Structure 1
Amino acid sequence: MPPPLRRGDRVRFVSPASPPDKDLILRHAEMLKSWGLNVDFGEHAFCKQDYLAGTDEERLADFNAALRDPEVRAIFATRGGKGSYRIADRLDFAAVRRDPKFLIGFSDITMLHLSLWKHCRQVGIHGALFVNEGEQDVSVETSSSLRRALMTSEDIVIRSRPEEPTSALTTEGAVTGRLIGGNLDMVATAAGWALPDLRGAILLLEAVNMYRGQVDRQLTMLRKAGHLNGLAGVAIGQFTRFEFDRRFSVIDILREHLDALGVPVLGGLPLGHGPSPSSVPIGAVAVLDAKAGALMVRRGGV
């Protein structure tokens, strides 16, 4: 678990996946500066090569340079999108072990979180200064959640929101385990090479803009290949841009697969691509209490 950030610490934006909106990132940088942080940018942070933020070598070089720089105390991914999976096995894991620092990101960045946990047991932050589609500014809930996760040593409590469609998946029971996972597409992509052993873990899943059949195929593969054997529980975040009013919706598909696991499930968590998402340490010890509708991450639990 990296130490909390303090005023005066340097943080760096890098682009390991798709190219970002430069104006948006510059506004995010100003917000971080208002928190007392010093902000800089990777050399290729605003490069573009089609759907990637530069070549694999450029994106990898920026990320590894931030890992190796002792002045950089946290690394912000400018965005997700596509491409982190192309470099996730080539990170400087030795530098991570020497000098742990938070990586902040989600969506495609889930791949980097998985790889860093698998190789280094590195705790990261599943979250970002995320702006909802059609809005200009980061919500107060999202910014305050990220600041709390980064700049305090408090336990983090994420409560289920009844208005989130996945809240219908909540069962009963309470379990403790490492919170591992994130974006379903990346968890499935990591299977067999970057996915850590999930036995005893609480698996976090969120998704955006997928067909029902894609969700079904990915969960089928993960279950039948044994990757979900021995899970302690499942935390379900936001499933965004799905048609929930269908007769056989993604909620029904999720329920079929999750029921087969026979573990406590907590849905409705504001983690992902939906309205005002929260940030949560990923890789840390968490307590999932389905009855209480809360996921608590212990900051001291490493």
Structure 2
Amino acid sequence: MIRATTPPASTPDKDEVYQRAAILKSWGLKVDFGEHIFRKQAFLAGTDDERLADFNAALRDPTVRAIFATRGGKGSYRIADRLDFEAARKDPKFVIGFSDITMLHLSLQKHCGLVCIHGALMADEDGTVGEVNREALRRALMVPEPVTVASRPDEPTSALTTGGTVEGTLIGGNLDMVSTAAGWALPDLKGAILLLEAVNMHIGQVDRQLTMLRKAGHLDGVTGIALGQFTGVDLDRRFSIIDLLREHLDRLAVPVLGGLPLGHGRQPLSIPVGEDAILDTSSKTLTVGL
């Protein structure tokens, strides 16, 4: 059974939730909903205790095999240290989401090594969930085979691809959440391939976050960088986000694979995180689940 929980962050649109539930049911999955799924309090989907209660109830329920966060937004960081890690260790299950939900993925990986899925059923411009996006999530969730995501040359971060092939546990997701987690919910990144994507950030924000992560030593020992979609950022200025990323990542001296369709951009895909992976810049692929 899939449990669509009260969003650990912001309130979802009701029609969108039911549309996505119908897609999951078409795969033969049983779907139910958290008790407080459509609650709203300011910018949050209910109080911290309500959101936490729904999420922990799903972690503790043996009939639930995957937990679907119905929206990102803001607020997962407020409860990420209060998850029932013991229940997650005893009965591992996928937690599906991205953006703000990266915070929950990081905390669950730090405390109990849980494999999660970075992704969602994302609507295209016409409001429908495209087949490419659907199939990527279905395979990541239901097919017991490695998941491979190829770089797209039309994604701006593809220009940052370097050379080399590395192995490591894939950790990360949304840059804002990776930096927010530093010092309390961020797993040790030594030996890891770090996945980064971002949305609606000024170049100065990206610079501050990468500077902090690098100078505080959080990026020491990272084996490679997997770059997803950086959307809603300024690509046209003389010193663009691509220039800034290159400046920071060159200092790490590790292989970088850019152009991955992971994040908030066009036709994003889904991929497991917290699992062993190979980053291969010659084939321009990231493969997870060795």
What is the TM-score with the length of structure 1 in the denominator?
A: 0.95
Using the alignment, how far apart are the partners of 2:157 and 2:128 within structure 1? 25
Does residue 158 of structure 2 align to residue 176 of structure 1? no
Measure the CA separation in 1 of the matches of 2:122 and 2:79: 23
What is aligned with 1:97? 89
CA distance in 2, matches of 1:38, 1:235: 33
Please, which of 146, 155, 158 is the counterpart of residue 155 of structure 1?
146
Stretches (4+) displaced over 6 A: none
Q: CA deviation at 1:245?
A: 1.6
Residues 1:201 and 2:192 aligned together: yes
Q: Which whole-Å deviations, capped at 9, do the CAs of 1:35-92 have from their partners, x for residues lacking one? A: 0001000001111011100000000000000000011110000010000000000000
Cα drift, residue 135 of structure 1: 2.6
Residue 158 of structure 2: which of 167, 171, 179 is its match?
A: 167
1:130, distance to aligned residue in structure 2 (A): 1.2
1:66 equivalent in alignment to 2:58: yes
How far 1:160 moved relative to its partner? 0.1
CA contact (8 A) 1:171 1:291 kept: no
Counterpart in the other structure of 1:247: 238
**AA in 1 matched with 2:261:** P
- Alpha carbon RMSD of aligned pairs, Å? 0.7
| Unmatched segments (≥5 aa) in structure 2 | none
Equivalenced residue count is 289
Alignment of 1:191-230 (within 5 A): 191-230=182-221
Say whether the 8 Å CA contact 1:56–1:86 is kept in structure 2.
yes
Which residues of structure 1 form unaligned runs of 5+? 1-9
Distance 2:109 2:155 in 1: 28
Q: Is residue 202–residue 234 contact of structure 2 (8 Å, CA) maintained in 1?
A: no
Between the aligned partners of 1:275 and 1:235, the Cα distance in structure 2 is 17
Taking the TM superposition and a 5 Å limit, the aligned residue runs for 1:2-13 are 10-13=1-4
Quick check: 1:27 aligned with 2:1? Answer: no
Q: Calculate percent identity across the aligned residue pairs.
A: 70
User: Could you tell me how far apart the structure 1 residues matched to 2:156 and 2:222 are?
Assistant: 23
Give the alignment partner of residue 16 of structure 1, picking from 8, 18, 23.
8
**Equivalent AA in structure 2 for residue 253 of structure 1:** L
Q: Deviations over 1:128-179 (max 9, x none)?
A: 00124x3311111110000000111111010000000000000000000000
Pick from 111, 115, 119 the counterpart of residue 103 of structure 2. Answer: 111
Q: Distance in 2 between matches of 1:234 and 1:249?
A: 19
